[in-house]
A and B are shown apart, each in its own frame.
Chain A
């Protein structure tokens, strides 16, 4: 299984809502990532988890809260978002240890619209 899955595919939420994005992989990868991609732009890194610990936070606003419950799952909790947070949210995973193949495999993304 070389797939990263994400749910939901689409999400529309109001600025006062709380929602969560979910990402799952069963490749035994120990590094997982959240990226944000705006239209016609490259993916921008938000968070990196390594061995279920947050290792990189790219100065993301606290209205985005990541969680890694276990080595296969990655969540992104959303609260009090702004319309400019509307984007495609991509999850990725990689083997996650030194000298290992470093390919990052991307999930299909969640298209988020904040109204």
Chain B
């Protein structure tokens, strides 16, 4: 089955700086890669996703890049703000409507004011 590794497990960044979180996956059939943000005591919320036919996707301060050959994808947050502090999970799945999401182990991001 799929295995997703995520690094780093914790990340502290000065407000205004950039943060980068990296994930690798094992199943070459995976072709959908979402990122979720989970604040303490709240539900995971999708912040951005990418499909295997795209190399990069950007949404305001958030971007995701995908390298299919190397089987890794990364989340980039620019101009970080205190409200970006949360746990971020990457995930991978096959692009069918009823397939499972396999999550990475999570990164606790802390933005230092």
Contact = CB atoms under 8 A, between A and B. Distances in A.
A96 B96 CA distance: 7
Task: Kindly state the interface size class of chain A when it binds its partner.
Answer: 20 to 34
B101 interface: yes
Interface residues of B, number: 23
Nearest to A104: B101
Interface of B is mostly: loop
Given A45-B100, A48-B100, A56-B100, A102 B95 contact: yes
A33 B104 CA distance: 18
Contact of B32 (A44, A96, A102): A102
A103 B100 contact: no
Contacts of B45: 106
A112 to B, nearest CB: 14
Given A41-B106, A106-B44, A97 B97 contact: yes
Interface in A75-115: 90, 94-100, 102-109
B43 interface: yes
Interface in A26-40: 30-31, 33, 40
A31 B93 CA distance: 14
A107 to B, nearest CB: 6
A95 B97 contact: yes
A108 B42 contact: yes
A43 interface: yes
B98 interface: yes
Interface of B: 32, 34, 36, 42-46, 49, 89, 93, 95-106
